[in-house]
Amino acid sequence: MGRVIPLLAAVLVITACTLTKPSVPTGIYSKEQPKVPPADAAFAQVPAGYKVEVFMKDLIWPTSIDFDEAGNTYARAAASGGS
The pLDDT value given to residue 37: 75
Give the separation between CA 20 and CA 26, rounded to whole angstroms: 12
Give the separation between CA 15 and CA 7, rounded to whole angstroms: 12
The pLDDT value given to residue 75: 87
Is residue 80 predicted with pLDDT exceeding 80?
Answer: no
User: What would the pLDDT profile of 11-57 be if each residue is shown by its tens digit?
Assistant: 677 766 665 666 666 777 767 777 777 777 788 888 999 988 888 87
| pLDDT classification of 69: cutoffs 50, 70, 90 | very high
Give the separation between CA 28 and CA 11, rounded to whole angstroms: 33
